[in-house]
Structure 1
Amino acid sequence: MDALQRSSAIRWTLLSMVAGFAIISGWRAVEKAQTKRRLQAAEASDPSLLAKHCTFSSFTTPSGYTYPRIRVFYKPHLNAYKLPKSIPLLVFTHGLGGSAAQFVSLLTSLINQAPCLAIDLPGFGRSEFAPRNDKAYTTHALAELVATIIKDYRDAENDQKVVLVGHSMGCSINALLTSSTSPLTHLLGDDIIGCIAICPKGESPTQNEATVLRRLAWLPSPIFDLLRLVDRRGGLASRSVTRIVGDSADDETRKMQVKFNMQSESAVFLRVVAAGIGAEGMPGKAIWSGIKVPLFLVGGESDRITPAQEVENIKEWLTESHHLGSESHNNDSEPKHPALPVTTGDTAAAENTVAPSQPSSDPPRMDSGVAIKDSHTSTKHAFALKTTTFPAPAAHGLLYSTPTVRILSGMLENFLATHIDERLGASWQLHALTTSGKWDVKNLKKWQAVSACSEPIGGIFRAMKTMREVDPVHSPKEFVKVWSRGVIEDGVAVVVDISHETPVYHPEGLESAGVRYFKFPTVSKEKPRPDEVDAFVKLVDGLRRDYGLGKEDGKGEGGGRATIGVHCHYGFNRTGFFIVCYLVEREGYRLQDAVQEFGEKRPPGIRHEHFVNELYVRYAVKMERRGTVIGM
Structure 2
Amino acid sequence: MRALSPFIYFFSHSHHTPNMTSYPSSSSISITRHRYNQSIMSLAILATAGIIGASYMALRKQGYTPLEKELLTLSDSRYLLDHTEMVTVRGHRLRVVNLPGKQPERPLLLFIHGLGGQASQWEEQLKYFCDYASRVVALDLLGCGSSEVVTDWKSYDTAELASDIEAVAKTLDTSKGIIAIGHSYGCLVSSILATRIQLKGLVMICCPRLHLDAKQKRGQKMLPFIPDWLIDRGRRADRKGGLHSQSVNRFLGEEADEETRRRQLRWNLMSRTSVWKRFMSRARIPSPEILSKISTNRVLIIGGSEDKMAPPSTMDIVQEHLQEAPTRLLIQGAGHMPMVTNTQQVNSAIQEFLFQ
TM tier, shorter chain? 0.7 to 0.9
Alpha-carbon distance in structure 2 between the residues aligned to 1:43 and 1:200:
31
Give the equivalent residue in structure 1 for 2:95: 71
Encode CA deviations 1:143-186: one digit per residue, 9 max, x unaligned.
Answer: 0000000110124xxx231110110111111100113xxxxx2x
Q: Find 1:410's aligned residue among 345, 348, 353.
A: 348
Q: Please name the residue that 1:164 is paired with.
A: 180
SS of the aligned residue for 2:327 comes to strand
In the alignment, does 2:301 pair up with 1:285? Answer: no
CA distance in 1, matches of 2:213, 2:72: 33
Alignment pair present for 1:299 and 2:239? no
Name the CA shift for 1:42/1:59 in 2 (closer, same or farther; >3 Å): farther
SS at match of 2:340: coil
SS in 2 for 1:102: helix
Partner SS, residue 302 of structure 1: coil
TM-fit CA distance, 1:290? 2.4
**How does 1:97-136 map onto structure 2 within 5 Å?**
97-114=116-133, 115-130=135-150, 132-136=151-155
Q: Deviations over 1:272-313 (max 9, x none)?
A: 11101xxxx121322222223300001112112111111111
State whether residues 176 and 287 of structure 1, in contact with CA within 8 Å, keep that contact through their aligned partners in structure 2. Answer: yes
Q: Deviations over 1:193-242 (max 9, x none)?
A: 11101011251312122233444443111211111111101001111111
**How far is 1:315 from its partner?**
1.2
Following the alignment from structure 2 to structure 1, what is the Cα–Cα distance between the partners of residues 77 and 183? 19
Matches within 5 A, 1:452-531: none
Letter in 1 for 2:339: L
How many Å separate the matches in 2 of 1:293 and 1:248? 35
Distance (Å, rounded) in 2 between the aligned partners of 1:243 and 1:71: 27
Within-5 A mapping of 1:438-449: none
Question: Partner residue of 2:233?
Answer: 226
Q: Judging changes above 3 Å, is the alpha-carbon distance between structure 1 residues 136 and 41 closer, same or farther for their aligned structure 2 residues?
A: farther
Q: Distance in 2 between matches of 1:217 and 1:390?
A: 37
Q: Is 1:55 matched with 2:88? A: no
Q: Which has the higher contact order (CA 8 A, sep 6+)?
A: 2
**Aligned with 1:395: secondary structure?**
coil
1:242 and 2:252 matched: no
What percentage of residue pairs aligned between the two structures are identical? 28
Shift of 1:41: 6.3
Gaps of 5+ in 2: 1-52
**Does the 8 Å CA contact 1:243/1:304 hold for their aligned counterparts?**
yes
Cα deviation code 1:395-454 (max 9, x no counterpart): 1111101xx111111111111111xxxxxxxxxxxxxxxxxxxxxxxxxxxxxxxxxxxx
| 1:139 and 2:149 matched | no
Paired with 1:72 and 1:244, the residues of 2 have a C-alpha distance of 24
Q: Provide the rounded CA distance (Å) in 2 between the counterparts of 1:72 and 1:42.
A: 21
Whether the aligned pair in 2 keeps the contact of 1:41 and 1:263 (CA below 8 Å) is: no
Higher helix share: 2
Aligned to 2:320: 316
Shift of 1:43: 7.5
* Aligned residue among 258, 264, 271 for 2:271: 264
Looking at structure 1, the residues matched to 205 and 193 of structure 2 have their Cα atoms a distance apart, in angstroms, of 16
**Distance in 2, Cα, partners of 1:259 & 1:94:** 15
Q: Structure 1 CA distance, aligned partners of 2:285 and 2:252?
A: 23
Q: Which residue of 2 aligns with 1:253?
A: 260
**Rounded Cα–Cα distance in structure 1 between residues aligned with 2:254 and 2:237:** 19
Distance 1:219 1:193 in 2: 42
> Separation in 2 of the partners of 1:89 and 1:43?
33
Deviation string for 1:252-276 (max 9, x for gaps)? 3222211111110000000111101
| 8 Å CA contact retained: 2:106, 2:132 | no
The CA distance in 2 between the partners of 1:49 and 1:293, in whole Å, is: 34
Mapped contact 2:94–2:147 kept (Cα < 8 A): yes
CA RMSD of aligned residues (A): 2.4
CA distance in 1, matches of 2:88, 2:81: 18
Secondary structure (helix, strand or coil) at the match of 2:115 reads coil
Which residue is 1:44 aligned to? 74
TM-fit CA distance, 1:76 = 0.7
Q: Is 1:386 matched up with 2:352? A: no
Specify whether residues 229 and 134 from structure 1 end up closer, same or farther in structure 2 by C-alpha distance, changes over 3 A only. Answer: same
Moved over 2 A (4+): 40-45, 208-218, 247-253, 289-293
Kept in 2: contact 1:75–1:116 (CA 8 A): yes
**TM-score, scaled relative to structure 2:** 0.76
What secondary structure is seen at the aligned counterpart in 2 of 1:282? coil
Q: TM-score scaled by structure 1?
A: 0.44
Provide the rounded CA distance (Å) in 2 between the counterparts of 1:206 and 1:253.
33
Larger radius of gyration: 1
Partner Cα distance (2:312, 2:217) in 1: 20
> Equivalent residue for 1:173?
189
Q: Give the C-alpha shift of residue 113 in structure 1.
A: 1.1
Alignment length (residue pairs): 291
2:168 equivalent to 1:149? yes
Is the CA contact 1:45–1:259 (under 8 Å) kept in the aligned structure 2? no
Query: Structure 1 unaligned runs (5+)?
Result: 1-22, 61-65, 180-184, 323-346, 348-384, 419-632
SS in structure 1 of the partner of residue 277 of structure 2: helix
